Amino acid sequence: MNKDNVKFIIKFNGKNKKIVVLKKDITEDLLLNKIKEDNKLNHYLNNKNIQKKIFIPNKLINIITN
């Protein structure tokens, strides 16, 4: 991992699901698109509404669903 990349913790409803290495300073929207492209992570979004998103740049995203 070089200094242009960071590890993001992807959480759904407060539970860790995956750690991904992405470019530093990625936006919340781009990170959500990457999550939707990932088959394993997209499974947690199928047929669910996103109620809240907690995004901490260069650290984590926590997606709260119903």
pLDDT at 1 over 80: no
Cα-only R_g, the chain = 11
d(CA 33, CA 59): 17
pLDDT at residue 37, as a whole number: 94
pLDDT at residue 3, as a whole number: 86
Express each pLDDT in 12-55 by its tens digit. 999 999 999 999 999 999 999 999 999 999 999 998 999 999 99
Q: Which stretches within the chain are classed as H helix?
A: 28-37, 39-42
pLDDT at residue 2, as a whole number: 80
